[in-house]
Amino acid sequence: MKLRRFLAPDARSALEQIRRELGPDAVVVTSRKAPGGVEFMAGRYDELEGGRQETAAQETSVSERQTEDGGLVWRELARLRALLANQLAGFAWSAEKRRHPVRVHVLQKMLAAGFSPRLARHLAAGLPRRYSAEQADAWMRQVLIRNLRTATAEDMPGMRPGVWALVGPTGHGKTTTLAKLAARAALRHGPEKVALVSVDAYRIGAQAQLEAYARMMGVDFLGLDDAGRLGEALAGLKAKTCVMVDSAGFAPGDERFSMQMAALGQAGATCLLTLAASAQGSLAERFMQGTPSFAGAIITKLDEGGLCGAVLDCLMRYRLELSCLSTGQRVPEDMHAANAGYVIDRALRARDSGSFVMREEDWAAYAGLEAEQDALKRSA
Ligand SMILES: Nc1nc2c(ncn2[C@@H]2O[C@H](COP(=O)(O)OP(=O)(O)O)[C@@H](O)[C@H]2O)c(=O)[nH]1
Ligand SMILES: [Mg+2]
């Protein structure tokens, strides 16, 4: 590894000089006071890694104790590199804010609405130059709307013949939404042509709740104790135009969820992931990464406020179609066709409150922590 010496009047200008000359991958190995300011010894990280490989090649000839010490040194260097990345990111954030205030405005607005840093950075980087903040807002809105795939009112679950199943985590509104969709299906096809089926044998009272809805609508109800029996049950429901299936709620990694999905798929059901608007991005993403067989997604509880950017972000990145929207508990009223403009405006207007609002000084710290974590991950 080649080390270079940097002398500057203070630490800040030394770090800026290092970044300018060695790039963002620089590692500071030592720093000390020197006549005329501070002296830093720094090198490039890739050269450091070269050094690490050399060490690995020589590993057979060194004692165990030396290897341990070597590990400590590399870990310490990785930590230093992460700290440096943090400081530089803080400077870079302030510089970016001075140089491209509108780009930073876009980034902040998207992050504040709950969109992922990945999508926010991507959009901010693509912002046309010389846009005012107002132009940037309109551009961002349009890009988001264009990238959200939505079903038409005619494509809402239950409008066309078929077997429709709502799946997802517990408590996000599957049963309530299914009842609303079944009510619409009964209006469209006639109540005698619609059946409500529940395969949720986990939650006490889940089937009774759906059965009560079925009675009110005058549609047939069938309760199964296992999704695996849906196929044979459907054989007895051939006369129905629409069969609406309620399922048990599970966490994304739960193998019972995968088994239920497999059984629903085998029975030919069209499965729609049902998520509350304020679901965390990590929850939505884990469902989408784990199960590629969703035909679309339904967003519920839009009336509850909260940030819906994260769910929309996942729909966009995983190219999953938004099927319809639920905006309240009333059956069947609070149900709407998917509308990209409406949900994107809602997402962009939503704000955290109290201690969760990012203040101006938090942003630089946020940028620094992100950079620090990235650096640590890369060194691991
Ligand atoms: N505010 C609001 N509450 C809803 C909405 N959809 C469902 N709920 C309520 O959320 C709770 C859980 O709903 P449920 O349908 O049982 O969820 P499931 O466990 O996924 O079947 C119930 O109290 C519902 O009334 C909605 O769009 N808005
Ligand atoms: Mg339920």
Residue 252's pLDDT is what? 93
Once rounded to an integer, what is the mean pLDDT over residues 138-149? 97
Mutate to test the pocket of ligand 1, among 250, 329, 334 (most ligand atoms within 8 A of CB): 329
> What is the number of the ligand closest to the CA of 174?
1
Residue 327, SS3 per DSSP: coil
Is 252 a pocket residue for ligand 1 (Cβ < 6 Å)? Answer: no
Residue 47's pLDDT is what? 67
How many A from CA of 175 to the centre of ligand 2?
4
Is 303 a pocket residue for ligand 1 (Cβ < 6 Å)? Answer: yes
Residue-averaged pLDDT of the chain:
87
Q: State the Cα–Cα distance between residues 279 and 287, nearest whole angstrom.
A: 12
> pLDDT band at residue 53, thresholds of 50, 70 and 90?
very low
Is 90 a pocket residue for ligand 1 (Cβ < 6 Å)? Answer: no
> pLDDT band at residue 57, thresholds of 50, 70 and 90?
very low
Between these two residues, 284 and 356, which has the higher pLDDT value? 284
Q: Are 245 and 197 in contact (CB under 8 A)?
A: yes
Residue 60's pLDDT is what? 44
> What is the number of the ligand closest to the CA of 336?
1
Q: Whose CA is closest to atom 13 on ligand 1?
A: 173
> What is the number of the ligand closest to the CA of 180?
1
Tens-place pLDDT, residues 339-364: 999 999 999 998 777 777 777 777 77
| Inter-CA distances, 351 with 104, 242, 376, Å | 17, 40, 31
Residue from 364, 379, 378, 369 nearest 83 by CA: 369
CATH of domain 153-349: 3.40.50.300
Is 329 a pocket residue for ligand 1 (Cβ < 6 Å)? Answer: yes
Q: Which atom of ligand 1 is nearest to the CA of 179?
A: 15
Is 373 a pocket residue for ligand 1 (Cβ < 6 Å)? Answer: no
DSSP code, position 59: G
Residue 69's pLDDT is what? 64
pLDDT higher than 80, residue 365: no
Q: Report CA Rg, the chain.
A: 28
> pLDDT band at residue 228, thresholds of 50, 70 and 90?
very high
Residue 276's pLDDT is what? 98
Is 249 a pocket residue for ligand 1 (Cβ < 6 Å)? Answer: yes
> pLDDT band at residue 52, thresholds of 50, 70 and 90?
very low
Q: Are 340 and 148 in contact (CB under 8 A)?
A: yes
> pLDDT band at residue 373, thresholds of 50, 70 and 90?
confident
Q: What are 322's two structure tokens? A: 């938004």
Choice among 102-116, 172-186, 316-330 with the minimum mean pLDDT:
102-116
Count other C-beta atoms under 10 Å from residue 349's C-beta.
Answer: 9
Q: Whose CA is closest to atom 14 on ligand 1?
A: 173
> pLDDT band at residue 82, thresholds of 50, 70 and 90?
confident
Between these two residues, 327 and 42, which has the higher pLDDT value? 327
Residue 79's pLDDT is what? 80
Residue 62's pLDDT is what? 46
Once rounded to an integer, what is the mean pLDDT over residues 133-150? 97
> What is the number of the ligand closest to the CA of 208?
2
Between these two residues, 57 and 255, which has the higher pLDDT value? 255
* Residue 33 CB burial class (10 angstroms; 0-12, 13-18, ≥19): exposed
Residue 48's pLDDT is what? 56
How many A from CA of 25 to the centre of ligand 1?
49
Once rounded to an integer, what is the mean pLDDT over residues 50-71? 51
Q: Which atom of ligand 1 is nearest to the CA of 326?
A: 27
